[in-house]
Structure 1
Amino acid sequence: MRLPKITSLYGRIFAIFWLTMLLVLIAVLSLPHLDPRKARNIPADDLERLIAVKTKTEQRYASETNLGQILFKLEGVKRSGRDNRGHDDRPRFFVTDLDGNIMTTQERKDFRYRALQNFITSIDLTGTPQQKLYGHYMIAGPLPIQLAQQDLLFYVGMKWNQPPPFLLRMFDKPLQLLFAVMLVSTPLLLWLAWALSQPARKLERAAKRVAQGEFVVDPSLEKGTSEFRQAGTSFNQMVEAVNQMISGQQRLLSDISHELRSPLTRLRMANALATRKQGQSPELSRIDTEAQRLEQMISELLELSRMQVDSHLTRERQPMTSLWEAILSDAQFEAQQMNKTLSYNAIPEDMISGNPKLLMSALDNVVRNAICYGTSRIDVEFTATEQQLVISVDDDGEGVPEQELEAIFRPFYRVSTARDRHSGGTGLGLAITESAIRQHSGSIVAKHSVLGGLRIEIGLPLSTVS
């Protein structure tokens, strides 16, 4: 018979609880059968030895007719065996009448007599011989014996040197019992903690992947206990819904771009024909400039949307120098043509994991903005720490007002200073950069530069830098 598999989290918790309780219950129920402090039948071997002692005693005093002398001799037998404390550790014999009255020639103040009296009152004198432990003193009996032609009952008392049973020690000492319960339950609790942590960690890793832009369904989330299976199923359904939503957005933007580019192309063709017929004019030049700007804006908008959809599909590890060395070299040459100076320190030799196109585009947009708006100097600095890579780009231009430093990363946003519509920008460059960095779980902030202009600071966490 195969036991059903417990798939519920609460089921596992209750199973471990009841299993622990069952072990404690078994221990409690078995305690009376193991506890020598309760009267119980004498083991067969011990009973045979007790009968032999009784028979030998009867034979020894068979010729005696004075019971008092017999009792005196029984109680006065020389005992040579003594324990480390000087106490008697040899068996001692007791005699009672058939009603259980102790017959002795000594005072009954001794502990042994009190124990014997308690033993007599707790057993059936006519039943099977039994034994009972009083501290470290064991009393066994009774056996019928005939002394001085009288029918009497015979008992034996002896020092009990054996250690008490394990369960008895546990119940006698609560701390040991607590330790034993913990010893039994700890492996079960560790297994339960492991069983709970594994699906939770899977869910955590899946959530981090989604936060990094990897909208991938993970079938392993739908395994384990029923509660985590339900959570994993809901998580995968959410990922699928997000994928469908983003795909729908991408299709909508593609359709819009196609519909916009067709009349935009016809507009530029009509403008070119008008220019050929009528010659150049400020009005026709303005129409062509705005048409070009509109086409550029549509292209950058599509690039931004495409980046948010499938940036996780093309991730790889490669040296940072292969990503940004050529970009900075070209930007340095471009700055020289504009009578500006661009300088940068050595790029770290570490590897970086991510989408190469996005990482290259992010730095390229920031550096070219600095060249465009800087007056004469642009500084690019790479700083690698144990936790992250920081790229700082400073220029000595007019900068951005304090209240607009956060807003410049919004799509189509333009500041009211030199970075305005007359510069030819669409307001999407920094938005694309911010999206690219966010896809790699990084951060990008704008600050006032020590050069007097704008400082863009990009941070890539250790999880992407190795």
Structure 2
Amino acid sequence: MRFGILPRSLAGRTILMLLAGFMLVQILGLGVHTVTQVKLARIEQQREIATQDVIIYRHIAATPPAQRAEAMASEPIPSGDSITLSDTPPPPTTTFQLPLPARQIIRASIIGYGIPMQLRPHGLELRGIGHQLRYVISFALPDGAPLMDRSGTPALPTPKGVPPQVPPHIWLTITSPITTPHPWRSPEFGAAFIVMTVLGAIMIFWAVRQLLVPVKTLAQAAERLGRDVANAPDLPETGPEELVTAAIAFNTMASRIRRFVEDRTFMLTAIGHDLRTPITRLKLRAEYMEDDEQRVKMLADLDEMEAMVAATLAFGRDVTNSEAATRIDLPSLLRTILDEAGDGAPDQADSLAYQGPDHLAIKARPLSLKRALVNLVNNALKYGDAARITLIPKDAGMVNITIEDNGPGIPNSHIETVFEPFRRLETSRNRETGGSGLGLSIARNIIRAHGGDILLQNAANGGLKVSVTLPV
């Protein structure tokens, strides 16, 4: 068995595709936002490091050379930072030059902090250490005085080639760890993503449902038209321009179908009505026939023709029936039909039975529904010598009526063809009963006009089982 990824309904597919697109846009937007936040966080980190380093530099530069060792030892520095004094900045072999934007931000922060003229460094190196991810900021002290230990002797040797009277530069190097910003790990990031996703899903779900309401309305109107052409209401011609155009087209189509059915039915009933007069004349002429055997045969044929004409007129009335629907008690109607059938065939009264609830209200056209059920019960009695009715309430606002008989049943190949007008099964039905072949066709038309349907099935233990489904 193959399982589709897409939902079966149009609403489900539309919602799924819109949600997928929304999630993609959401992820891309949050990705761009994250990159921007990481960039801003790095800039802010560079400014903070430059500010804290320039504070340390001002303190060390303002301290007399003889006391700088103690000042460095007591200097409060952030965790992970380190301070060193050397005669040269860190060599390029162990460091790398920071990108230009980073150098510009750090340099601007140092200059913008406001260092007094006498403390301004004679040099500034901005580098980084790749394997440890650290910023390395080196300041050349303005006085060039060597670092003295506590005994007062230089702690750093004088570089070779530098005259003793020219003080060498002393470099204050501060290294600070580079922390990688992770804005997506913050609770606000996840909360914002969840809130936007939920709100977007709710809006998409609501919008799709609203947009597909006209589609459902059109489907329901088409279903009503297919079941009851004569009484199906028109679609309201309101709403957006496209919906109005579709409603007008549907109503025009329904009107044409209704007019076609009415014209065909009117023609059929008119022909049937007009045939009554010649049939009556033929009956009168047959009465004067001298051959008794031929007269009897002629009158039998004319009686059959008259019955067919009467059935045709009844069929036309049922197709164009405009009886109003009302609430009726279905069990009472079924019991009444069985009682009347028993009165008409006393010898078969014992084969009539009802099983089901005592009361069950449904909305129906009483006369039309009774005519359809009477046809089914009479067929069961005529061809199956029994009519056992079972009424079972079903889910989804439907009820099921089953009518079972003891007859030979119907060949499976003719289960549907028996519903065609004037269709009779010569091998399974007795022609002497006078049937015209319209009973099941009329019954199905009536039941479908009520929003239900009729199905035939051969019972396992013999006989025919008729299932009638009706809405409550």
Query: Which TM class, normalised by the smaller chain length?
Result: 0.5 to 0.7
Q: 1:211·1:441 contact (CA, 8 Å) conserved in 2?
A: no
The alignment-based identity, stated in percent, is: 15
Please state how far the C-alpha of 1:23 moved relative to its aligned partner: 4.9
TM-score w.r.t. length of structure 1: 0.66
1:188 to 200, 203, 216: 200
1:123 to 103, 107, 112: 103
**Structure 2 residue 466 is the aligned partner of structure 1 residue 457:** yes
2:435 to 406, 409, 425: 425
Amino acid at match of 2:275: L
Equivalent runs, 1:214-233 vs 2, <5 Å: 215-219=232-236, 229=242
Give the corresponding residue for 1:60. Answer: 63
* 1:259 to 1:217, Cα distance in 2 relative to 1, 3 A: same
2:253 to 241, 248, 256: 241
* 1:424 to 1:355, Cα distance in 2 relative to 1, 3 A: same
Amino acid at match of 2:465: I
* 1:392 to 1:52, Cα distance in 2 relative to 1, 3 A: closer
> Aligned partners of 1:95, 1:351: CA distance in 2, in Å?
100
Bigger shift: 134-143 or 197-206? Answer: 134-143
1:378 to 366, 376, 387: 387
Amino acid at match of 1:456: K
Q: 1:365·1:429 contact (CA, 8 Å) conserved in 2?
A: yes
Q: 2:351·2:387 contact (CA, 8 Å) conserved in 1?
A: yes
**Structure 2 residue 356 is the aligned partner of structure 1 residue 342:** no
> Aligned partners of 2:180, 2:34: CA distance in 1, in Å?
18
* Residue aligned with 1:349, SS: coil
**Structure 2 residue 50 is the aligned partner of structure 1 residue 31:** no
Give the corresponding residue for 1:93. Answer: 83
> Aligned partners of 1:125, 1:296: CA distance in 2, in Å?
103
Amino acid at match of 2:456: V
Please state how far the C-alpha of 1:289 moved relative to its aligned partner: 1.6
Amino acid at match of 1:432: I
Give the corresponding residue for 2:265. Answer: 253
Q: 1:254·1:302 contact (CA, 8 Å) conserved in 2?
A: yes
**Structure 2 residue 300 is the aligned partner of structure 1 residue 297:** no
2:183 to 166, 169, 173: 166
Give the corresponding residue for 2:337. Answer: 327
Please state how far the C-alpha of 1:370 moved relative to its aligned partner: 1.9
Q: 1:363·1:433 contact (CA, 8 Å) conserved in 2?
A: yes
* Residue aligned with 1:323, SS: helix
> Aligned partners of 1:257, 1:267: CA distance in 2, in Å?
15
- What is the root-mean-square deviation of aligned Cα atoms in Å? 5.0
> Aligned partners of 1:293, 1:241: CA distance in 2, in Å?
35
> Aligned partners of 1:165, 1:204: CA distance in 2, in Å?
48
Q: 2:85·2:173 contact (CA, 8 Å) conserved in 1?
A: yes
> Aligned partners of 1:139, 1:405: CA distance in 2, in Å?
89
> Aligned partners of 1:95, 1:123: CA distance in 2, in Å?
22
Structure 1 alignment gaps of length 5 or more: 1-7, 82-87, 171-175
Bigger shift: 272-281 or 288-297? Answer: 272-281
Equivalent runs, 1:304-453 vs 2, <5 Å: 304-306=318-320, 314-336=324-346, 341-347=351-357, 349-375=359-385, 377-386=386-395, 389-397=399-407, 399-401=409-411, 403-417=413-427, 419-439=429-449, 440-448=451-459, 450=461
* CA displacement, residues 228-271 of structure 1 (integer Å, 9 cap, x when unaligned): x57x955763464144223222123214422541x334325545
> Aligned partners of 1:165, 1:189: CA distance in 2, in Å?
27
